[in-house]
């Protein structure tokens, strides 16, 4: 019976839940629990990567492809997408799933090696039983790829292996540009090598493409900073970030239909002021907390949490970026509060209770018929534990004595 002691029971439980995720990809078992899965087809986001890969192979502009909110990644990632474009769409999607599972396997291996008993079992479970990961697979996204690289970055910095950390951050930037949110933490940690290599790789792999396609740089910056100019796309039930929540509340209080909103300029001035001021306050508070600390773990975790509070487009699958944060914080401290935060964020939102036309494919946004209370209740299951975690990390950083990690 020794084999069922230690981390093994947690690993088995996590694997069973993970199998449910994989089986559910081909069924409607879990689809009603998530906005994106309920109303979009499997591989919806992967289709954009696939089209960008085809465009690159045919010499067309990768930022001109249509689908979802367009291709919003650095040019280097289109070369990865081009590899998938060599295959038929379904085969390419299945290969993408295999790649994501390989990243998961690598995380499990590193966690087994890095986390000591008695926390190892629960740390492994946290990788396997996280509902946004199912949505990541369903949509065909690559946030988990970047999340995994950030996990390796955190472990590398904590272990003093800065060369490995440098390549991990560079890789995360090429996969998901939002990894740039960690730059203030890296600056405070004086991780010059990490910063320099990441930015250099990003520039060297992007500038040639933008030089050949001058209009592409403006398109890339526009879609990432301002968002795609889609009427009704400013916020919706798929946006689970703080800014999306604030836009929804302001619009409903001002009597502005969500279906008519394209940019923040469509909101009343007072509402825009509340949104801008709240985002600025969060960013400044994170900077002040960062100035006090030199501990890699809370600093990197703080800025990863800040992403969800200040970025305009936060989809539910983006919450996989919190997996390495929660695994590392629990493994380092052993505090049960991180397990409670994990449990709340790992569970699906109450979306299934508020959905409109469940399971019907198409551009259906249930939030357009919700009231303010429903919008707040829906998002609070993610934002409340996230906000509590962010606040706790700020306090930890502010209470720290500035010493080298």
Give the other-Cβ count within 10 Å of 294's Cβ.
17
Distance of CA 336 to the CA centre of its chain: 24
Give the residue from 99, 91, 75, 39 showing the smallest Cα distance to 315. 39
Alpha-carbon gap, residue 389 to 329, rounded angstroms:
10
In a domain, 405, yes or no: no
Task: Tell me if 266 sits within 8 A of 227, measured CB to CB.
Answer: no
Give the 3-state DSSP-derived string for the chain, with helices as H, strands as E and coil as C.
CHHHCCCHHHHHHHHHHHHHHHHHCCCCCCHHHCHHHHHCCCCHHHHHHHHHHHHHHCCCCHHHCCCCCCCCCCHHHHHHHHHHCCCCHHHHHHHHHHHHHHHHHHHHHHHHHHCCCCCHHHHHHHHHCCHHHHHHHHHCCCHHHHHHHHHHHHHHHHCCCHHHHHHHHHHHHHHCHHHHHHHHHHHHCCCHHHHHHHHHHHHHHHHHHHHHCHHHHHHHHHHHHCCCCCCCCCCCCCECCHHHHHHHHHHHHHCCCHHHCCCHHHCCHHHHHHHHHHHHHHHHHHHHHHHHCCCHHHHHHHHHHHHHHHCCCCEHHHHHHHHHHHHHHHHHHCCHHHHHHHHHHHCCCCHHHHCCCCCCCCCCCHHHHCCHHHHHHHHHHHHHHHHHHHHHHHHHHHHCCCCCC
What pLDDT is recorded for position 405? 40
What pLDDT is recorded for position 402? 53
| Residue 42 domain boundaries | 2-399
Alpha-carbon gap, residue 183 to 150, rounded angstroms:
12
Residues 6 or more apart in contact with residue 190 via CB below 8 angstroms: none
What pLDDT is recorded for position 404? 45
In a domain, 404, yes or no: no
In a domain, 137, yes or no: yes
In a domain, 249, yes or no: yes
In a domain, 304, yes or no: yes
The dihedral through the CA atoms of 190, 194, 198, 204 has a sign that is: positive
Tell me the chain's radius of gyration from C-alpha atoms: 21
What pLDDT is recorded for position 1? 40
What pLDDT is recorded for position 326? 97
Residue entry with tokens 């305009």: 312
Question: How many domains are there within the chain?
Answer: 1
In a domain, 230, yes or no: yes
In a domain, 293, yes or no: yes
Block means of pLDDT (10 residues each) for the chain, 405 residues, are 71 97 95 95 94 92 80 92 95 98 97 92 97 97 97 88 87 94 94 92 92 86 74 90 96 93 92 95 96 91 97 95 97 95 97 93 93 96 97 92 49
Task: Tell me if 305 sits within 8 A of 389, measured CB to CB.
Answer: yes
pTM: 0.94
In a domain, 266, yes or no: yes
């Amino acid at each position: 019976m020794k084999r069922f002691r230690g981390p093994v029971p947690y690993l088995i439980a996590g694997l069973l839940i993970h199998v449910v995720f994989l089986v559910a990809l081909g069924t409607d078992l879990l689809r009603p629990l998530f906005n994106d899965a309920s109303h979009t087809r499997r591989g919806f986001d992967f289709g954009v990567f696939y089209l960008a890969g085809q465009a690159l192979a045919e010499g067309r502009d990768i930022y001109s492809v249509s689908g979802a909110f367009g291709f919003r990644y650095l040019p280097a990632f289109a070369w990865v997408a081009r590899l998938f474009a060599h295959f038929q769409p379904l085969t390419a999607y299945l290969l993408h799933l295999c790649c994501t599972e390989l990243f998961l396997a690598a995380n499990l291996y590193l966690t087994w090696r890095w986390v000591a008993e008695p926390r190892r079992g629960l740390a492994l479970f946290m990788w396997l039983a996280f509902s946004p990961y199912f949505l990541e697979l369903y949509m065909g996204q690559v946030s988990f790829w970047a999340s995994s690289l950030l996990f390796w970055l955190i472990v590398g910095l904590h272990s003093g292996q800065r060369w490995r950390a440098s390549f991990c951050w560079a890789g995360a930037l090429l996969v998901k540009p939002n990894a740039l949110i960690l730059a203030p933490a890296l600056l405070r940690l004086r991780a010059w090598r990490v910063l320099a290599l990441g930015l250099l790789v990003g520039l060297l792999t992007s500038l040639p493409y933008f030089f050949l396609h001058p209009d592409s740089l403006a398109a890339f910056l526009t879609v990432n900073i301002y968002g795609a100019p889609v009427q009704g796309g400013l916020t919706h039930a798929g946006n689970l970030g703080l800014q999306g929540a604030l836009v929804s509340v302001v619009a409903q209080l001002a009597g502005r239909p969500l279906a008519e909103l394209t940019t923040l300029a469509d909101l009343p001035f007072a509402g825009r002021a509340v949104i801008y001021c709240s985002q600025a306050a969060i960013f400044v508070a994170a900077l002040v907390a960062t100035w006090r600390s030199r501990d890699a773990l809370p600093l990197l975790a703080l800025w990863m949490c800040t992403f969800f509070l200040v970025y305009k487009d936060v989809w539910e699958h983006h919450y996989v970026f919190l997996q390495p944060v929660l695994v590392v914080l629990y493994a380092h401290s052993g505090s049960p509060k991180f397990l409670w935060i994990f449990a709340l964020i790992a569970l699906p939102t109450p979306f299934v209770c508020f959905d409109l036309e469940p399971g019907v494919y198409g551009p259906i946004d249930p939030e357009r018929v919700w009231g303010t209370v429903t919008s707040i209740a829906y998002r609070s299951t993610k934002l409340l534990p996230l906000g509590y975690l962010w606040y706790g990390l700020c306090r930890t950083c502010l209470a720290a004595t500035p010493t080298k990690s």
